[in-house]
């Protein structure tokens, strides 16, 4: 038996992977902002989580397993507006805060495991 739910760990790992990919996409968008014909990149992850949530709600998926969690995907945004630098930088900042929150949650989970293993002795 695992002290931390494997589905929770998989979800946090997938969300952190998506965060890394999202930062890389923002960096590429900013670097290529002045390139004629450049189509910005985006990362899809949360949208796919909604599909899993819907499958659980409608009974298609009766229990959640780590293998059911979606992976992050990098996609070209076809037919979008040119890169807006201020929007990209703001999105990078928001994504950095999200990434920090996820690492904090993971840190707290491992602190609980450490406390349990040490029987609370300090």
> Which residue ranges make up each domain of the chain?
6-117
Residues in Cβ contact with 30 at an 8 Å cutoff, skipping those fewer than 6 apart:
83, 85, 88, 89
pTM over cut 0.85: no
Residues in Cβ contact with 114 at an 8 Å cutoff, skipping those fewer than 6 apart:
none
CA distances in angstroms from 121 to 104, 112, 114, listed in the order given: 23, 13, 10
One digit per residue, pLDDT tens: the chain, 122 residues? 466 667 777 788 888 888 998 999 999 999 999 998 888 888 888 777 777 777 777 777 666 666 667 676 767 776 678 889 999 999 999 999 999 999 998 888 888 888 878 875 65
């Amino acid at each position: 038996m695992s002290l931390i739910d494997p589905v929770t760990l998989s979800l946090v790992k997938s969300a952190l992977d998506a965060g890394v990919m999202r930062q890389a996409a923002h960096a590429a968008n900013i670097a290529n902002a002045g390139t004629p014909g450049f189509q910005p990149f985006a990362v899809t992850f949360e949208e796919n989580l909604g599909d899993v949530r819907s499958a659980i709600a409608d009974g298609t998926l009766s229990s959640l397993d780590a293998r059911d969690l979606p992976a992050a995907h990098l996609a070209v945004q076809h037919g979008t507006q040119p890169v807006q630098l201020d929007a990209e930088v703001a999105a990078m900042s928001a994504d950095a805060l999200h990434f920090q929150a996820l690492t904090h949650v993971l840190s707290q989970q491992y602190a609980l495991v450490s406390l349990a293993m040490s029987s609370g002795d300090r």
